[in-house]
Structure 1
Amino acid sequence: MLRLDDTKARVLVIDASAHMRRLVITLMTAVGVRFCEEARTTIQAATMILKNLPDLIVIDLSGDATEALLFVHRLRRGEFGDRHTPVLGISSSGHHAMLELAWESGVDEMIGKPISAIEVIQRAGALLAESARRGGAARSAAE
């Protein structure tokens, strides 16, 4: 299993469900992430990103997928945060059209529901490792 020891990585989890946010945060600790923030909505998340740039965003696409995908699209356009921040999407729909919309908006990886702890850990860990190789978020340059 991938583990990022002594990481200063920041993960932002966006999900309307408090239970799902806590579950994903617990899984992030399995890869060594010590700094996790959670947002119930994309509006709340955008405000949080302006204060602390995350190294990974985990976003639920199951509720209002349009709002979530617009959030990712705006992130990729550079309207807030670092447009290169990796995004891991979680969706209850594995339909091809949904996956295509997610990738077109800028989601890097997708996981279907019900989620597998191992899959979340592996994909999030890989995205964080790639982010670290690239030098992390713009936050690192500002420190």
Structure 2
Amino acid sequence: MSDFSLQSTRVLIVDDNPHFRRLLVSVLSSMGCRMIEEATDGADGLKSLTHFPADVALVDWRMAPMDGLDFTRFVRTSPDSPNRYLPILMLSGYTELRLVLDARDAGVHEFIAKPISAKILQSRLQATLQSPRQFVRSPAYFGPDRRRRQVPLKGPERRKAP
């Protein structure tokens, strides 16, 4: 692993699979993380955020009664959200394009396909925490800027009044 360390980073893991949570704790510990909170579903994760001010959340998609998508939507849009700007990385074995786009449109920072590798997790955490994207607010979306690169427009700007 590189010099990247999570020593002072508080990580919330929200996943209903105890074996996968243990795996994530092990990987995060190898990156120096010592402050880890575990939650078994989205509702439990929201409760955790009331007493554990996480710096980043690793969230599974499929859980009951509240899944990772509903967790993300609540964090991003609810007036009761403990931190609307919380970096959220979604981890899922369901990787169809429409599901990835749904997660992106709910406001996740990154989408990581299961099974994960330590290298991918580290690179996504590093990118999210060390180079945060600006947040965007529109009538239909609140979350990190969905554009990966700032590419100059070619031609007229669509959003400018004529």
Question: Do the two structures share a fold, i.e. TM-score over 0.5?
Answer: yes
Counterpart position of 1:74: 74
Output aligned runs, 1:1-143, within 5 Å.
1-4=2-5, 7-63=7-63, 67-78=67-78, 79-130=80-131
Structure possessing the higher relative contact order (Cα contacts under 8 Å, 6 or more residues apart)? 1
User: How far does residue 3 in structure 1 lie from its aligned partner after superposition?
Assistant: 1.6
How far 1:53 moved relative to its partner?
1.2
Q: Distance in 2 between the 1:27 and 1:118 partners?
A: 10
CA distance in 2, matches of 1:74, 1:63: 15
Query: Partner letter of residue 111 of structure 2?
Result: M
> Using a 3 Å threshold, how does the CA distance of structure 1 residues 8 and 58 change in structure 2: closer, same or farther?
same
Q: 1:72 to 1:13 in 2, by over 3 A?
A: same
Q: How much has 1:63 moved relative to structure 2?
A: 4.2
**Please, what is the CA RMSD of the aligned residues?**
2.0
SS at match of 1:12: strand
Task: Tell me the SS of whatever aligns to 1:89.
Answer: strand
Deviation at 1:69, TM superposition (A): 0.5
Unaligned runs of 5+ in 2: 133-162
Distance 2:114 2:36 in 1: 21
Q: TM-score, normalised by structure 2?
A: 0.73
How many correspondences in the alignment? 130
Q: In the aligned structure 2, how far is the partner of 1:64 from the partner of 1:98?
A: 17
Decide whether the 8 Å contact of 2:41 with 2:67 is kept in 1: no
SS at match of 1:70: helix
- Matched-pair contact (CA < 8 Å) for 1:62–1:90: no
| Structure in which a larger fraction of residues adopt helix | 1
Q: Which runs of 5+ in 1 are unaligned?
A: 132-143
